[in-house]
Amino acid sequence: MKITTLPLDSFNSLEVGARRYFVLQNGAKPVIAPSECPHRGGPLNLGRRAACAAKLVCPWHDNAYPIHSIERGALPAIRRGDQISFVTANEDIRVWTEMLPVNQRDSACEDA
Amino acid sequence: MSSVGTLLDHPSHTDPALHKQAFSGFASHSLFDQPQSFYCDSPYVRPVRPQDLNQLDFGHVLTQAELDQPSHLMGQRLLLNIYEQDLVFLPQQGKLALAEFNAFYDEDLRRAGAAIRPELERHVFGWLDEAVSISGNWDVDAFKAYADEVLDKIARTPSSLVEHIGQSRDPANAARFFLIQCAGDFLSEASAMARNVLGNFGPAQSELFKILIDEYGYGVPQKKHSVIFESLLAQCGLNSGVHYYWQFYTATSLALTNYFHYVSANHRHFFRYLGALFYTEASLALVTRAQAEAMRIAFGDTVGTLYFDEHAHIDVHHGKMAFEQLIRPVVAHYGKQVLPDIIRGFEEFRLLQDVADAELFAHIAWHDQLADWQPQPVPPQPAGAPSHTFHECRDDLSVTHVHGATELFVVDKGTLKLVCSPFTQLELGAGQHVVIPRGMLHGSVITAEHCSYTVTSLEHAA
């Protein structure tokens, strides 16, 4: 296995082997979540928040996923201060050094 | 939230007058109030400076940047007193003062401590919730890989302790100050662990018990780790009485001891305890080699390093036992749901250790600076800076404390001794001054019939 440690403000997207991930805020906790929607592979990183930020809605077919269920597929990670360490298999890791588009605006709670 | 939970998490919901009374009643107890000396001959005498209570706010969570504030030191001192009312202490040197013994374990005092404990824990450890978070799909092998990386890094990195002691102006006294920081924990070593061996949690319980047996020397006093440490202290010219150097523990050294009590006193945190135990056992197997080297640098061959050598050996086993016989089976049995807390404990204790090391090294560096102290003209003071003048009499003793800002300390009249460690003390007379950096532990004792001194903040203009 491989451990990678990065400053949290240096990236928001990465690729491990053939899988893309993005940094998803779950409250104060950063989660390195899979970008691919489990339905048809839509870009979850461009999804909008719903249910008072408890869910993420895929922009392709409007499927809404609880953040805690997305986290079950996330990379195992530890944030310590402003750094995050994550564990991967011994695959190639590509980190985008520029911030890629993400859509994490919170929706109003009324749509819960 | 349950009503009990509400009370614990929002102590302000309790009657504020009763709460304040509990704080004052505990902190102002005669055992914790004004002592006669900087050194504590009795294991029950543990001054906390109750006169500062009104200026401190324990109702908020400190940030990591605020750990050098006075409320952190007082909070940690109070907490250790509360936790250690659960432990048995009898003096090993001198007679038992039965009145002090009875007073320390008094039911009313215990009740007051229990009432203020949740607020103190939140105040001094709440910052860890912000500092560390665990996310994603962990399994026990991913955690092992992460832990191995952390431990490999410790093994590969030159020891900061060796460096700081080796480069100190006075390596022997720097090493003694390090040993004093250890003494708060090591003289009652593994007491918090003992909180976790009762009850019934299957084979893992027996594994934890085996570690405890090692720590306590298999029933042979000379093999007890605390007894080996007592011998080391004596060889280094230090007193081995429990908390003899109470006033010279830094807040973050106290935090290391208190964290284990914190996650052990309430078994809701048991899985965090397992993670912290694994970190400390596995890392001690590595760092105790460097600690033995630091002793040799400081004292040559005049001091035995058995205490550290024993840990360099046995903690290899304890680290493996903590992971392979405790954590791995517990996760296999109870599922991955317990892993985030285990990992959290590992990372939290690692962070606390780093913070404590940094505070120790900062103190050693300041003590070195003070060794060069020479009388200088008093520097100009910032306009409008808050300042307080104190008038005291011979032998008046100011229990060690820290200031929340860097301060200019000027003696106006008479003489006093500024005590920064048992080995770093300045005799200051009228017109002489010293700058006390924020967060640096110090106290004073008046050495003239009358003395006046003025303390001025160098950080905050009014």
Q: Rounded to a whole number, what is the distance in Å from the CA of A109 to chain B's nearest CA?
A: 21
Q: What pLDDT, on a 0 to 100 scale, did the predictor assign at position B222?
A: 85
Quick check: A76 and B138 CB within 8 A? yes
Q: What pLDDT, on a 0 to 100 scale, did the predictor assign at position B1?
A: 39
Q: What pLDDT, on a 0 to 100 scale, did the predictor assign at position B5?
A: 45
Nearest to B137 among A1, A73, A78 (CB): A73
Q: Which chain B residue shows the shortest CA-CA distance from A72?
A: B137
- Please choose, from the candidates B459, B207, B164, the residue with its C-alpha nearest in 3D space to the C-alpha of residue B319: B207
Beta bridge partners of A85: A5, A78
Spell out which chain B residues touch chain A, with contact meaning CB-CB distance below 8 angstroms.
Answer: 64, 130-139, 141-143, 145-146, 149, 343, 347, 351
Quick check: A71 and B142 CB within 8 A? no
For residue B133, list chain A residues with Cβ-Cβ distance below 8 A. Answer: 28-30, 78-79
What are A21-34's pLDDT values in tens digits? Answer: 999 999 889 999 99
Q: What pLDDT, on a 0 to 100 scale, did the predictor assign at position B13?
A: 54
Can you give the C-alpha Rg of chain A in angstroms?
Answer: 14
Stronger pLDDT, A103 or A67, i.e. the higher one: A67
Element (H, E) at B294: helix B270-299
Q: Which chain A residue shows the shortest CA-CA distance from B65?
A: A81
For residue B351, list chain A residues with Cβ-Cβ distance below 8 A. Answer: 80
Nearest to B146 among A31, A79, A87 (CB): A87
Q: What pLDDT, on a 0 to 100 scale, did the predictor assign at position B16?
A: 82
Structural domains in chain A, sorted by start: 2-97 (2.102.10.10)
Structural domains in chain B, sorted by start: 3-127 (no CATH), 136-371 (1.20.910.10), 387-457 (2.60.120.10)
Distance CA B442, CA B401 (A): 6
- Please choose, from the candidates A97, A89, A76, A83, the residue with its C-alpha nearest in 3D space to the C-alpha of residue A31: A76
Average pLDDT of A77-101?
A: 92
Element (H, E) at A19: strand A19-26
For residue A79, list chain B residues with Cβ-Cβ distance below 8 A. Answer: 132-135
Average pLDDT of A40-62?
A: 93
Q: What pLDDT, on a 0 to 100 scale, did the predictor assign at position B6?
A: 46
3-state secondary structure of B306: helix
Q: Is A58 within 8 Å of chain B by CB?
A: no
Q: What pLDDT, on a 0 to 100 scale, did the predictor assign at position B178?
A: 97
Token pair belonging to B197: 């061996």
Q: Rounded to a whole number, what is the distance in Å from the CA of A63 to chain B's nearest CA?
A: 21
DSSP B325: I
Contact status, residue B401 vs residue B435, Cβ threshold 8 Å: no
Quick check: A86 and B136 CB within 8 A? yes
Q: Is A67 within 8 Å of chain B by CB?
A: no
Quick check: A28 and B136 CB within 8 A? no
On the question of pLDDT at A89 being above 90, the answer is yes
Q: What pLDDT, on a 0 to 100 scale, did the predictor assign at position A111?
A: 54
Per-residue pLDDT of chain B (462 residues; tens, 9 = 90+): 344 444 445 554 567 888 889 999 999 999 999 999 999 999 999 999 999 999 999 999 999 999 999 999 999 999 999 999 999 999 988 899 999 999 999 999 999 999 999 999 999 999 999 999 999 999 999 999 999 999 999 999 999 999 999 999 999 999 999 999 999 999 988 899 999 999 999 999 999 999 998 888 888 888 888 889 999 999 999 999 999 999 999 999 999 999 999 999 999 999 999 999 999 999 988 899 999 999 999 999 888 888 888 887 787 778 888 899 999 999 999 999 999 999 999 999 999 999 999 999 999 999 999 999 999 988 888 888 889 999 999 999 999 999 999 999 999 999 999 999 999 999 999 999 999 999 999 999 999 999 999 999 998 755
What are B381-403's pLDDT values in tens digits? Answer: 888 888 999 999 999 999 999 99
Q: Rounded to a whole number, what is the distance in Å from the CA of B284 to chain A's nearest CA?
A: 21
